A and B are shown apart, each in its own frame.
Chain A
Amino acid sequence: MDTTSGTDTRIGRHAHVWRKKLNIWWRNFLELLGELRKHPLAMLGGFIIILYLFAAIFADQITVHDPMAGNLRNRLIPPAWYSEGSWEYPLGTDAQGRDILTRVIYGARVSLAVGLISVGISVIIGLALGTFAGYYRGRFDSVVSRLADLLLAFPFLIFAIGMMAFLGPGFANLILALTFKGWVEFFRLSRGEMLSEKTNEYVEAAKVTGHSHFSIMGKEILPNIIQAVFVLATLRIGYMIIMEASLSFLGLGIPPHIPAWGSMVAAGRDYMLVAPWVSTVPGLAIVILVLSINLFGEGLRDILDPRLKVEG
């Protein structure tokens, strides 16, 4: 222990420990960034993700038009690069005269929120159940594993569609529908990892030295599992975003008056022949975001967990 002032009090000592931990984390983070520089595509992906996040958070400040208010006189104006378009509506307007760029930016809120929250909850549930099941085994494990198998019998989209049909449109319902099956993957992953980690020496050592089960799980094993889980999570966010868009496209996701990319594409179908941008532009927003997430996630995986690499 070092003798800098403030360490004689208990709070002082805790603060000191935490400061050290923060330092370590910060250094790890910088190291990560350094590594990332070797993967230009992943960096590009990360940059775009930040751009989307920025747009979603500051939507009110950076947009000029109202995403919900239409003006019939401005219906179906083409994007700026067409001869009839103008820079007032850079990506054109939809059938109600609403600015598409504005709605795409607001739509980012929905997609990002749904993606992050549903994956987040799935991770928490899956991780918790998986570590417990893998560690303790026994009845708990078999019950939850059976349940997971059962849920796996349904193709994802069908399950989600079915649930949304019964729950009705709505943000909370959407999250519920997506996480209801979403946790299974994380459960299996953490359980598998737990099973293999459990046999390692450091676990035996911890047991011998009298650590409680809880602290073994939490302090020793968990950090090793988290990396794999984290990598899977980043890849799943893109998938959840596509799921949300598909549900909204079918009319089973977000209520129609809230701008969401999927429902924007669906609404634009009627005008495909005269105004193809109404459908294609929001879809493009989805593609770019998901592509960036996938690229970033892949890069992350390369760095954190080289043994999972798909590349040679």
Chain B
Amino acid sequence: MTRLNLRMFTILMVLAVIMAACGPAATPTESIPDEPEAPAPADTQPVEAIPEGGGTVVIAMAAAPVSLDPADHRSRESETVIRNMFDGLVTRDNTSGVHLQLAESMDWVDEQTLEIKLREGVKFHDGTEMTADDVVFTFERIINDNQIEYPEPHTSPRKGLIAPLESIEKTGDHSVVMHFSGPWPPAMQLLVHQQIVPKAYIEEVGTQGFIEQPIGTGPFKFVSAQPGYEEVVLERFDDYYGGSPDLAPAGTACVEKVVFRVIPEASTRVSALLAGEVDIITAVPQDLIPNLEANPDIQVTTAAGTQPKWIELNVNQAPFDDVLVRLAMNYAVDKDLIIEQIYGGRAVALPGPLSPFNNFANTSLSPYPYDTTKALDLLKQAGWEDTDGDGFLDKDGETFAFTIDTIESWRPLAEAVADMYRAIGIDANVRFWEYSVIKPQLQAGERMAWLDDWGDSAFDPVGHFEAKWHGFVADTPYGRGNFSGYNNERVNELTEMGETTPDETERHTLYDEAQQLVYDEAPAVFLLLPEEVEAASVNISNWAPASDSRQNMHDVCKSE
């Protein structure tokens, strides 16, 4: 070789060596090794009756989980993955309501005291047995302040979901008692959304170690996760106690591996399913349904939705401080057309602040009809008219203009609504944000209109109504999602009473009145409740999407 070539060669070799050496050191969360790296249970040999099936199921979700710590998140995607690794005291089935899971029995001793007997022989993924200590630890970690120490000490964001829980104590190796601050009718519904974590393990490795290698009692155990949880791999836990005996099939999971993958773009998700790269996809937009239905290898299913959508209007800022204007905003939207065109009929118009499927929905309410004449009339009464002939309404020299803030996921809905407002002379525009960025501004009351949803999956107003329509009170669960600034004394009162009244009929009356008030004062434009559409390949069986977004991988089987 000439001198020149030798030099070049050396340089390139050096570069290659540097690049190889600079590769990241293998950490447990990165590599996908053949052997599981998690502390192996004492007997990983499969139990004699290996269930038929096996295989790997890949699910594509629209957004990534934010955490695998059952106490440290408020997102559906996180809960989806978590509930396959962690079981709770109770669980909910899509059709039959709440069932006992880790709890063997639960009895109300009095209105405020709940005695729980725990199932015995339940193993965590590391082989240790679940006891009352773990249950006490789990709940104290949620309701006491600053219990989660990583990355900085903070309080569990799920505390608000079980706010009335004051204390919990161990009464035996497999029994605990929960003390509530008052009667709490939706207790069962909301306990579904908390899962049990292992005390000894967390105390040993800390929260940081826990989220790097989560350990629970669920049907699947953690194998690995990519940064940002773009991909999470789970493996069947062969020592699973079997799950709730009420819900068949009991026993260990059918499939061997579950992979959760994040594919934010809907058409990419659908392509991946059509190409056989993934087995199940969530959040299918209606435009793509015909593609899927036409394919004999794909099954498409829908479930009743639990994420009602509305536009919260800032009631403390003009022009939305005038109830006439807010009512007009409700009359100006042709919800039926949107449902027909954008959702393919797979949605229902919202009759009021609660989902029509909620057990306590006020059945006398019906959605605001589409009536542009009435809308313009109301606006005129409020002083808004097109006096300068530019096509837009104005008042005192100012044009009626505002921005609808929302997240990218609701783009078609937001743009369609904005179009409808423009059609009656309101200069409406849309702007897209990341939720975490806009949230502080919303809480400070700096935005005018926020289009989003709030989960209503408990079928009980609690967990939802007080978050949205009660006035904001710092350091309490009240108004934690209230971005309209709505604060009606009577509604607040009714909400608080509804939470603690045990009598069902009375609760109905209270909530009916509260809903009527919110409906009449219209702090939001009540839009619609879309169905959850999901699709899977036909060799997936025993799969049914749940309205609370739970992906129950335990039941699912895959044939080849």
CB-contact partner of B341 in A72, A256, A271, under 8 A: A72
Residues B209-264 near A (CB distance < 8 A): none
Report which residue of B285, B290, B419 has the largest number of chain A beta carbons within 10 angstroms of its beta carbon.
Answer: B419
A69 touches B337 (CB 8 A): no
B338 touches A72 (CB 8 A): yes
Q: Is A70 an interface residue (CB 8 A)?
A: yes
B419 touches A96 (CB 8 A): yes
Number of A-B contacts (CB under 8 A): 61
Extra pairs beyond A75-B341, A267-B411, A270-B267 (17, CB < 8 Å): A68-B422, A70-B415, A72-B416, A72-B419, A73-B337, A73-B341, A96-B416, A251-B408, A251-B432, A255-B431, A257-B418, A270-B265, A270-B266, A270-B285, A273-B288, A273-B291, A274-B287
Given A69-B419, A69-B423, A70-B416, answer yes or no on A256-B267 (Cβ-Cβ < 8 Å): no
Q: Is A272 an interface residue (CB 8 A)?
A: yes
Q: Which 3 A-B pairs have the closest CB atoms?
A: A72-B341, A70-B419, A257-B429
B416 touches A274 (CB 8 A): no
22 examples of A-B residue contacts, CB within 8 angstroms: A68-B419, A68-B422, A69-B419, A72-B342, A72-B419, A95-B412, A95-B415, A96-B415, A96-B419, A251-B408, A255-B431, A256-B429, A256-B432, A269-B265, A270-B285, A271-B267, A273-B267, A273-B270, A273-B288, A273-B291, A274-B290, A275-B287
Chain A residue numbers with a CB within 8 Å of B432 are 251, 256
Bound-state CA distance A267–B430 (Å) is: 13
Q: Is B271 an interface residue (CB 8 A)?
A: yes
- The distance from the CB of B350 to the nearest CB of chain A, in whole angstroms, is 18
B287 touches A271 (CB 8 A): yes
Bound-state CA distance A95–B342 (Å) is: 9
Chain B interface size band reads 20 to 34
- The distance from the CB of B345 to the nearest CB of chain A, in whole angstroms, is 13
B-side residues, CB < 8 A to A, are: 265-267, 270-271, 285, 287-288, 290-291, 337-338, 340-342, 408, 411-412, 415-416, 418-419, 422-423, 429-432
Tell me what chain A mostly uses at the interface: helix, strand, loop, or mixed: loop
Bound-state CA distance A267–B416 (Å) is: 14
Chain B residue numbers with a CB within 8 Å of A72 are 337-338, 340-342, 416, 419
Bound-state CA distance A29–B91 (Å) is: 81
A256 touches B422 (CB 8 A): no
Q: Is A76 an interface residue (CB 8 A)?
A: yes
Chain B residue numbers with a CB within 8 Å of A73 are 337, 341
Chain B residue numbers with a CB within 8 Å of A255 are 429, 431
Chain B residue numbers with a CB within 8 Å of A71 are 419
Given A69-B422, A273-B271, answer yes or no on A256-B431 (Cβ-Cβ < 8 Å): yes
Chain A residue numbers with a CB within 8 Å of B415 are 70, 95-96
Report which residue of A75, A95, A251 has the largest number of chain B beta carbons within 10 angstroms of its beta carbon.
Answer: A95
Residue interface mask A60-96, B partner, CB < 8 A = 1: 0000000011111101100000000000000000011
Bound-state CA distance A255–B431 (Å) is: 7
B411 touches A269 (CB 8 A): no
A274 touches B288 (CB 8 A): yes
Bound-state CA distance A197–B250 (Å) is: 87
Chain A residue numbers with a CB within 8 Å of B408 are 251
Chain B residue numbers with a CB within 8 Å of A96 are 412, 415-416, 419
- The distance from the CB of B336 to the nearest CB of chain A, in whole angstroms, is 10
Chain A residue numbers with a CB within 8 Å of B341 are 72-73, 75
Bound-state CA distance A21–B524 (Å) is: 67
- The distance from the CB of B529 to the nearest CB of chain A, in whole angstroms, is 19
Chain A residue numbers with a CB within 8 Å of B418 are 257
Bound-state CA distance A257–B267 (Å) is: 22
Q: Which residue of A lies closest to B423 (CB)?
A: A69
Chain A residue numbers with a CB within 8 Å of B265 are 269-270
Chain A residue numbers with a CB within 8 Å of B429 are 255-257
Chain A residue numbers with a CB within 8 Å of B288 are 273-274
Bound-state CA distance A160–B178 (Å) is: 56
Bound-state CA distance A251–B432 (Å) is: 9
Chain B residue numbers with a CB within 8 Å of A270 are 265-267, 285, 287
Bound-state CA distance A46–B430 (Å) is: 37
Chain B residue numbers with a CB within 8 Å of A257 are 418, 429-430
Q: Which residue of A lies closest to B341 (CB)?
A: A72
Bound-state CA distance A273–B269 (Å) is: 11
- The distance from the CB of A76 to the nearest CB of chain B, in whole angstroms, is 7
Bound-state CA distance A267–B408 (Å) is: 10
Chain A residue numbers with a CB within 8 Å of B270 are 273
Given A76-B287, A256-B430, answer yes or no on A269-B416 (Cβ-Cβ < 8 Å): no
Chain A residue numbers with a CB within 8 Å of B430 are 256-257
Bound-state CA distance A218–B271 (Å) is: 61
Q: Which residue of B lies closest to A95 (CB)?
A: B412
Chain B residue numbers with a CB within 8 Å of A69 are 419, 422-423
A272 touches B342 (CB 8 A): no
Bound-state CA distance A71–B416 (Å) is: 8
Chain A residue numbers with a CB within 8 Å of B338 are 72
Q: Which residue of B lies closest to A273 (CB)?
A: B267
- The distance from the CB of B417 to the nearest CB of chain A, in whole angstroms, is 10
Residue interface mask A267-309, B partner, CB < 8 A = 1: 1011111110000000000000000000000000000000000
- The distance from the CB of A300 to the nearest CB of chain B, in whole angstroms, is 38
Bound-state CA distance A127–B280 (Å) is: 58
CB-contact partner of B291 in A70, A76, A267, A274, under 8 A: A274
